[in-house]
A and B are shown apart, each in its own frame.
Chain A
Amino acid sequence: MAKSSSMNTSDIVKGSSLTKDAFRRLRNNKMSLASTIILLAIILICFLGPLLLPLAHPNHQDLTNIAASPSFAHPFGTDQLGRDLFVRVLYGGRISLLVGAVATCVSLIIGVTYGLISGYVGGKADAVLMRIVDVLFALPFIVLVIVFSLSIEEPSRVATQWIVETFGLPLETVSPIMSLIPLFIAIGALGWLTLARIVRTQTIELKNQEFVEAARSLGLGWATILFKHIAPNLLGVVIVYTTLAVPGIMLLEAVLSFLGLGVRAPNSSWGTLIKEGADRMEVSPELLLFPALLFSLTLLSLNFLGDGLRDALDPKSSKKQ
């Protein structure tokens, strides 16, 4: 702490920009630095590993070698159909990270904008906007997801067929990606609700503070005030919430596969692998252990990174101590 604060003082003397400043602070947070490295490593292995390493196909079955313990040939062992768990964890990671990233972005964009507007405008408009959130909040998620996925099934089948025929891609590669689309839509459509509410509460708190009133008296437009002055102050809460939401979204994907709505078999995500592992935990604990370990490591890193970012971005923290 002491070290970083002395760095900060010298930075301020140099007069560096806010972003640059934040980056420096982030670099000095040991936990965040370690998290960033781990996260990057996991992403790299998941996305580049299968391209660079001579690995087996994730769906290659070997029924003579079921649920084998970890060995040199299979570093994580094999699953209930004799497939290499290491490769499956890598491929599963791709899907989980993709779902996490896309769905979170969607809900971030919708949620922050919605919450900001609702909170800033206030009055009747705020009441109506928040009641819409209330209604969506109280709708049972399962009903919505089932409706989404079933109504999108036929179009997605047609689209899959079209892609297969037009681009000559094999069905095996196209169909798992297409099966994720209802998931994105459902999660994107509902994931933003909590965020919208949190952002709104914070906005109401902020909009009456001196600096906003000052900006207003300077004659700045509402959009400028909203996005230049209020939004940066929300970063802390939003980032914390986002790092909390990503695990939620990645877990949701697993729960949905439980209802037959997630990623299509034989492809897997970390969520489905963990679920399959949890079912077999008495028999072969490594089926649960390895995917759960990677999954938790990713989420832990995301969280610590989020904390670090939060501290680094908080405009007030530069002044303190």
Chain B
Amino acid sequence: MRRNANKLFSPIILGILSLFCFVFNSCDRQSSVEKADKEDILLVGNNSEIQSLDPHIASSVADFKVIHSLFEGLLRGDNERDDLYHPGVASRWEMSDDAREWTFYLNSNIKWSDGKNLTAYDFEYAYHRLLHPQFGGRYADMLYVIKGAEQYNKNNRPYFLLSDIPNVSFDWATLRDLDWDKIEKHLDDPYKIEGLSDKESDLIWATLRADRDQGYPDLWGSSSIGVKAVDAHTLKLTLNDPMPQLPLLILHCTWFPVPKHVIEDQGGMLSRAGKWSKPGSLVSNGPFVLKEHQFNNYLEVRKNPLYRLADEISLNGVRFLPIVNGFTETRMFFDNKLHITNNVPPEMIGYAKSKSPLEFCEDDYYVSIFYRINTQKAPLNDEKVRKALSLAIDRDSLVKDVVRGAGTASFGFTPCGAGYETPHQITFNPQLARQLLAEAGYPEGKGFPAIELLTTSREVQKTMAEAIQGMWKKHLNIHIDIRSCEWTAYKQAQNSMNYDLCSSSWSGDYFDPLTFLDLWTKISGNNNTGWSHPDYEALIARAKSTVKLEDRMKVLAEAESLMLSQMPVLPLYWSKRVYLKKPQVRHWNPLLLDNHLIEKVSLQEQSK
């Protein structure tokens, strides 16, 4: 009987045996990193799967990282400092005295990767496309600094039509911002526009009607738009406000050129489903070209032989791996599957640091972590309650014990850098916090209503919320419920202000404190706290029109002080980028904005 039963086992035993034979046969296999070292290919962890490589559709950080290696804008950033920039497609540039008019002179022998010449028209086409009202570019607002860009993007037709009417002498300024939707309804039923004569009023209506009858032609050609390709190698930009810091702004992907000839070929300017940004048809002008893309697996780019500095590129290519799970990524690094990881989760920091201190990197990052407060809802509409909550958070302990050193306790909202002195305004003082809470009507936390803290389901955020919940319980004797949501529901609740407290973060798009402070203006789409203050608006407007850098920073600091004195947000810490890097990777330097110039990176031969 037993012998018979053994027959059942035999396939299993055979299977196991063959597996073992196989193991011993293949022990000489090379690791992915060794293989890549030989081929000079860099393996980079890239956080998440990219959404699009079209610079005008892309919207996630992962997209931008790849696009940075594929395209090049007018200027190129620096590989060591965030506040430096170098010639890119443009070899030189001029700024008018009021810092509103900029002229870029393009290097005349820049080519697209298909061999066609890159001209200033490609830039104009790119900005036209991103701003086109029927295109729906997510990041169109990055270009709103250009004169007329916002009106064009929002399809404010009167703004352009009326300024182009010849031989009219009066000031149109008040009419330019007429609400287009309302006017459109009155085209066949015109009313007399206030403050104008009948004749002038009729002229306006006639102009608008003529526009409709022509089928609303594209208004890009209007003289009121501040983008102009003067000739094939000269691009002129006119801005709304003086902006000496424009070069830093245009390092962002949204300012990159796109190949007009290819896009026109593959569906035209407005087609979002165009195939031009896919492997095989993507034409770019940066140091690398797209080679292969497999969803959730990898995206590979190869050296672009037509790049203007192709001789200086040491790498043959880069592989971006979309690894969402930080634990998986860290383990893959230690198993020699990656050269550089994107992020080490706080839980693994101690382990990674002790396992290989030389590969462990901790760089400052232009990111602020904070809690938004819904200032419209009781009890958080009371400034005293908001301040009490802030004073009862021990940020040093948070950074040390919860985030495990992957951040710096914040004393203001905007991270330091770009010549900006963040005002010191946030402290830990439980005594004062209790006092303020009592003044607000909740002595010893008695009678404090039920409020919720909204977080995403990310582990770090949950742990942090629990720690802060514990601090508030301990110091203020109030209980805050934690609600963690999947991402889109979280985002929806935040955008519609359906929350009490909401964990948030903001990373700078460009190297200037304005990218953080612009958030809290009334018209900012990302404010979502219900807070606004006329003085704050005035200060931000003043900063925007101040040319001198030092003065500008002072005004911005004043604005931040004002904002922090009312606490529409609870700043927590400034995040650091914690990652792992193999020793053979050279010239990968700490950068606040994390825009590494991968073409400068090299893989050093390891001594055998």
A-side residues, CB < 8 A to B, are: 59, 61, 63, 66, 80-82, 146, 150, 160-161, 164, 170-172, 175, 257-261, 264-266, 276, 279-280, 282-283
> Is A264 a contact of B347 with CB atoms below 8 Å?
no
Across the interface, which residues of B come within 8 angstroms of A66, CB to CB? Answer: 401
Is B211 interfacial (CB 8 A cutoff)? no
> Is B345 a contact of A81 with CB atoms below 8 Å?
no
> Is A266 a contact of B489 with CB atoms below 8 Å?
no
Contact with A along B476-514 (1 / 0, CB 8 A): 000101111110011000000000000000000000000
Across the interface, which residues of B come within 8 angstroms of A282, CB to CB? Answer: 348, 351
Is B463 interfacial (CB 8 A cutoff)? yes
Question: A261-B486, A276-B459, A282-B351 are contacts. A171–B450 as well, Cβ < 8 Å?
Answer: yes
Q: What's the nearest-Cβ distance from chain B to residue A167, in Å? A: 14
Question: A63-B401, A63-B467, A171-B450 are contacts. A279–B351 as well, Cβ < 8 Å?
Answer: no
CB-nearest residue of chain B to A287: B347
Best-buried of A66, A259, A280 by chain B (most CB within 10 Å): A280
Q: What's the nearest-Cβ distance from chain A to residue B401, in Å? A: 5
Contact with A along B345-358 (1 / 0, CB 8 A): 10110110000000
CB-nearest residue of chain A to B352: A282
B-side residues, CB < 8 A to A, are: 327, 345, 347-348, 350-351, 397, 401-402, 450, 456-457, 459, 462-463, 465-467, 469-470, 474, 479, 481-486, 489-490
Question: A81-B467, A265-B465 are contacts. A260–B486 as well, Cβ < 8 Å?
Answer: yes
Say which residue of B348, B466, B490 sits within 8 Å of A265 (CB atoms): B466
Across the interface, which residues of A come within 8 angstroms of B481, CB to CB? Answer: 171, 175, 264
Across the interface, which residues of B come within 8 angstroms of A146, CB to CB? Answer: 486, 489
Closest 3 CB pairs of A and B: A260-B457, A260-B484, A61-B470
Q: How far is the CA of A256 from the CA of B169 in the complex (A)?
A: 67
Q: How far is the CA of A164 from the CA of B348 in the complex (A)?
A: 39
Q: What's the nearest-Cβ distance from chain A to residue B177, in Å? A: 39
Q: How far is the CA of A276 from the CA of B450 in the complex (A)?
A: 27
Across the interface, which residues of B come within 8 angstroms of A63, CB to CB? Answer: 397, 401-402, 467
Q: How far is the CA of A158 from the CA of B465 in the complex (A)?
A: 23
> Is B482 a contact of A266 with CB atoms below 8 Å?
yes
> Is A266 a contact of B466 with CB atoms below 8 Å?
yes
Q: What's the nearest-Cβ distance from chain B to residue A280, in Å? A: 5
Q: How far is the CA of A258 from the CA of B487 in the complex (A)?
A: 12
Question: How many residue pairs between the two chains, A and B, have CB atoms under 8 Å in the bound complex?
Answer: 72
Q: What's the nearest-Cβ distance from chain A to residue B392, in Å? A: 14
Say which residue of A161, A172, A257, A283 sits within 8 Å of B479 (CB atoms): A172
CB-nearest residue of chain B to A59: B470
Question: A63-B397, A66-B401 are contacts. A171–B479 as well, Cβ < 8 Å?
Answer: yes
CB-nearest residue of chain B to A161: B450
Q: How far is the CA of A81 from the CA of B345 in the complex (A)?
A: 16
Question: A259-B486, A265-B462 are contacts. A61–B467 as well, Cβ < 8 Å?
Answer: yes
Q: How far is the CA of A61 from the CA of B474 in the complex (A)?
A: 9
Q: How far is the CA of A150 from the CA of B470 in the complex (A)?
A: 26
Q: How far is the CA of A61 from the CA of B470 in the complex (A)?
A: 7
> Is A259 a contact of B351 with CB atoms below 8 Å?
no
Q: What's the nearest-Cβ distance from chain B to residue A207, in Å? A: 33
Q: What's the nearest-Cβ distance from chain A to residue B294, in Å? A: 23
Q: How far is the CA of A201 from the CA of B350 in the complex (A)?
A: 54
Across the interface, which residues of A come within 8 angstroms of B457, CB to CB? Answer: 257-260
Q: What's the nearest-Cβ distance from chain B to residue A234, in Å? A: 28
> Is A283 a contact of B463 with CB atoms below 8 Å?
no
> Is A81 a contact of B466 with CB atoms below 8 Å?
yes
- Return 8 A-B CB contacts under 8 Å, by A number: A59-B470, A61-B466, A63-B402, A66-B401, A259-B457, A260-B457, A260-B490, A279-B345
CB-nearest residue of chain A to B492: A150
> Is B351 a contact of A283 with CB atoms below 8 Å?
yes
Across the interface, which residues of A come within 8 angstroms of B345, CB to CB? Answer: 279
Q: How far is the CA of A260 from the CA of B454 in the complex (A)?
A: 11
CB-nearest residue of chain A to B394: A63
Across the interface, which residues of A come within 8 angstroms of B450, CB to CB? Answer: 160-161, 164, 171
Q: How far is the CA of A61 from the CA of B479 in the complex (A)?
A: 14
> Is A80 a contact of B463 with CB atoms below 8 Å?
yes
CB-nearest residue of chain B to A283: B351
> Is B459 a contact of A279 with CB atoms below 8 Å?
yes
Question: A61-B467, A81-B466, A81-B467 are contacts. A264–B350 as well, Cβ < 8 Å?
Answer: no
Q: What's the nearest-Cβ distance from chain B to residue A64, in Å? A: 8
Q: How far is the CA of A186 from the CA of B430 in the complex (A)?
A: 42
CB-nearest residue of chain A to B466: A266
Q: How far is the CA of A130 from the CA of B397 in the complex (A)?
A: 57
Q: What's the nearest-Cβ distance from chain B to residue A256, in Å? A: 10
Across the interface, which residues of A come within 8 angstroms of B485, CB to CB? Answer: 260
Question: A260-B485, A260-B486, A261-B486 are contacts. A279–B347 as well, Cβ < 8 Å?
Answer: yes
